[in-house]
């Protein structure tokens, strides 16, 4: 797991939400507090978030968006094609990043080792050093509260920011409506 960030995605029948904190660290030093690690893709048809080396993540995000365009917005075909490219290219395999990508129907975790994972609970996924804290909080809040999807993601990220030293509380959210 990367000591880099926290990204949390939540998908319901009505919407898809992704959120991330804004902290960028270099070792034990905070370099930036307001980075944007989440993006709208293909004109708002999909969402992505990344954890890991910033330059690597931007490279991968741009490549994924081109793959999504080539696959005409089909997220499933895009993640398979992208994972093959990422895994087979000698330079790309060395990139240190993970991605979450989702639309209103699917949610995937992508890694440089060729992993394409649709989580068993296809509604929630998290990556980054604070990812498991945010995921745990989101599962509890989903089970025991009536928060909206956006509020659940935001509150879960705030909880992760209270625990993980690589996560701050400068939270950004993006939403897609079904």
Question: What is d(CA 30, CA 2) in angstroms, rounded to the nearest whole number?
Answer: 15
Give me 146's structure tokens. Answer: 């009536």
Question: What is d(CA 15, CA 46) in angstroms, rounded to the nearest whole number?
Answer: 11
Q: At what angle do helices 149-163 and 131-144 cross, to 10 degrees?
A: 140
Question: What is d(CA 12, CA 14) in angstroms, rounded to the nearest whole number?
Answer: 5
Among 5, 6, 54, 67, the active-site one is: 5
Q: Count of CB atoms within 10 A of residue 174's CB?
A: 21
Q: For 73, which DSSP code? A: T
Q: Is 59 a catalytic residue?
A: no
Give me 128's structure tokens. Answer: 């980054």
Give the residue numbers annotated as catalytic, written as ranges: 5
């Amino acid at each position: 797991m990367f000591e880099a960030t926290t990204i949390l995605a939540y998908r319901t029948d009505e919407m898809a939400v992704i959120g991330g904190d804004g902290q960028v660290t270099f070792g034990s030093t905070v370099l930036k507090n307001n980075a944007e690690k989440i993006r709208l893709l293909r004109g708002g048809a999909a969402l992505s978030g990344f954890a890991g080396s910033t330059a690597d993540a931007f490279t991968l995000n741009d490549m994924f968006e081109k793959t999504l365009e080539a696959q005409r917005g089909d997220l499933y075909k895009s993640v398979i094609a992208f994972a093959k490219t990422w895994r087979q290219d000698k330079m790309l395999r060395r990139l240190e990043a993970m991605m979450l990508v989702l639309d209103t129907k699917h949610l995937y975790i992508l890694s440089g080792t060729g992993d394409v994972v649709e989580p068993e609970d296809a509604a929630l996924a998290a990556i980054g050093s604070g990812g498991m804290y945010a995921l745990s909080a989101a599962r509890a809040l989903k089970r025991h509260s009536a928060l909206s999807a956006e509020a659940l993601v935001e509150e879960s990220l705030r909880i992760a920011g209270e625990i993980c030293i690589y996560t701050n509380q400068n939270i950004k959210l993006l939403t897609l409506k079904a």
